[in-house]
Structure 1
Amino acid sequence: MKQAFLVVALAVAACTAATSTAQAQEDVDKAVDKGLAAAFDNRMFAGPPGAKAYACFVRRYDANHLAQHPKQKVGTMKLLVSAEDAPEDETTNYSFRLGVTYRHRSGNFDSSGFCNHALATESGHEIRFECGVDCEGGGISVALSKDDKSAIARLASIRMWNRNKPDDDAGEALLAGADDKIFRLDRADSRECAELVTDRKELAALRHK
C-alpha cells in the first residue's frame, strides 16, 4: 500500500511540475504581441481560425532522404495543429497531435498536448508554437516556412505512445539524436491527419474541412 501511495504521489508531483511549466508558458504567451500572434495564426490556418480550425502537415521520408540521414529514427511523421475558441475564457486554445512511424520497428506511435505562442529565441521576433505534453512529457516547437507550405518541427524529447498498447507503460521518449532534431513537414489536406483524432465529433468536423 505504501509503495502504491508513493507511486501516486510521485505522479502527482510530476504533473504539478508540468502544470507550473504550462503556467510559465502562458505567461510567455501573454507577452507576445497580439498582432504578431494573430498574423501567425492566419499563416498557420490559412486564414483567421474562427471557432475551430485545423492545420495538417505530413512527411513520408523516401529512401534517398533516409540514405542521407542514416541515424534518423523517424520514417513518417504527421502533425495536426488545432485552434478552438473558448468563449468562457475569451481566448483561443491551441493543441497538437503528433503521429510517428519508425524506420526500423513496427507500430504507430502518437502524442498530444497544448500549445502557446512564443518568440523564437534565435531571431527574437519570429513567432512559433511551443507545445508540451503533460507530466513532463517533453514537447515540440512548430514554426512555418517562409512560403507557409511547410511546418518546421523541432524537438529535444517528446513522449510517444504505441497506439496498439493503450496503457501508461507503452509510453517512451522520442529523443532528438543526430538526425531527429528538426523535421520539415509538408502542408496537407486535414483529412490526411484524421487517424490522429479519436473523438468522433471532432473526427467528423475534421473530415468536413
Structure 2
Amino acid sequence: MQRTFLVVALAAAACAGAALTAQTKEAVDKATAAAFDNRMFAGPPGAKAYACFVRRYDANHLAQHPKQKVSAMKLLVSAEDAPEDKTTNYSFRLGVTYRHRPGNFDSSGYCNHAIESGHEVRFECGVDCEGGGITVALSKDNKSATARLGRILGRIMVWNRDKPDDDAREALFAGADDKIFRVDRANSSECAELVTDRQELAALRHK
C-alpha cells in the first residue's frame, strides 16, 4: 500500500495543479468563504482542521438505486494554514467500496477556495494529471455533505489499496446512480484509514 501511495504522490508532483487549473472560477468574497469554512469545519480552521463524512448504504437504498456501484463512501476534507502565502490550502481524501466487488479504493487531491453557483457554496476538488474530481457542498443544517461526480471530466480516478502499483489505478465514472452522494458528518476517527502520514494521523485523532 505504501508503494501505491508513493507512486500516486510522485505522479501528482509531476503534473501538480493540472486538474484544478482548468476548473478555476472566481471565489466568493472573504466573508462568505469564512462562513463556509465555519460551517464545514465547525469553527474557524486555525492551523489545521478536518471534516469527516461517512455513508454506508443499506440494502433498501441500494435496491432503490440498482445501478449504483458504490456501497460505502468516506470523505475527509482538510484545511491547512499557509502563513508564507497568507492563505489557507484545502484538500480532500476519498475512500469507496463497491457493492459487487471486493477491495478498498482511495483518491485524493486539492480543492479550490469556496465558489458559489446557483445559490450553493461549495469546494471544487480535483485529482492531478486529469484525474477528474468532485464538488463538495453542505446541507443547510451542516450535518451532511453532498459529493458530486461528473463536473470535472465525468469521473474520478481511484486506487486500489491492495493491488500492485501498475494495476491499482482505475476510474469511478459518474453513472446513472453514482453522480450524487450524500455523506453524513462523523467523528474524524472514522476517516483515519484515509490518512497514511503518521504525524497527520496523530493530529487527526486529536480533533
User: Are 1:200 and 2:198 an aligned pair?
Assistant: yes
**Could you say which residue in structure 1 is the equivalent of 2:178?**
180
* Alpha-carbon shift at residue 139 of structure 1 (Å): 0.1
Match of 2:88 in 1: 92
Structure 2 partner of 1:39? 35
Which residue of 2 is the match for residue 3 of structure 1?
none
Which residue type is aligned with residue 180 of structure 1? D
TM-score (norm 2): 0.87
Structure 1 unaligned spans of 5+: 1-11
How do 1:1-209 and structure 2 match up within 5 A?
19-26=17-24, 28=25, 31-121=27-117, 123=118, 125-156=119-150, 157-209=155-207
1:8: which partner in 2? none
Which residue of structure 2 aligns with residue 4 of structure 1? Answer: none
Q: 1:77 to 1:21 in 2, by over 3 A?
A: closer
The CA distance in 2 between the partners of 1:182 and 1:19, in whole Å, is 24
How well do the aligned residues superpose, as a CA RMSD in angstroms? 1.7
SS in 2 for 1:117: coil
Relative to its length, the structure with more helix (as a share) is 1
TM-score by length of 1: 0.86
Q: 1:207 to 1:20 in 2, by over 3 A?
A: closer
| Structure 2 counterpart of 1:140, one-letter code | I
User: Matched residues, percent identical?
Assistant: 81
Q: Deviations over 1:141-199 (max 9, x none)?
A: 00000100000000021000000125143111100111000000000000000000000
Q: Which runs of 5+ in 2 are unaligned?
A: 1-10
Cα separation, 2, equivalents of 1:159 and 1:135: 10
User: How far apart are residue 25 of structure 1 and its match?
Assistant: 4.4
Instruction: Report deviation, 1:24.
Output: 4.8
Q: Is the 8 A contact 1:116 1:130 kept in 2?
A: yes
Number of residues of Structure 1 aligned to a counterpart in Structure 2: 191
Cα pair distance change 1:58/1:25, threshold 3 Å: same
- Name the structure, 1 or 2, with higher relative contact order (CA <8 Å, separation 6+): 2
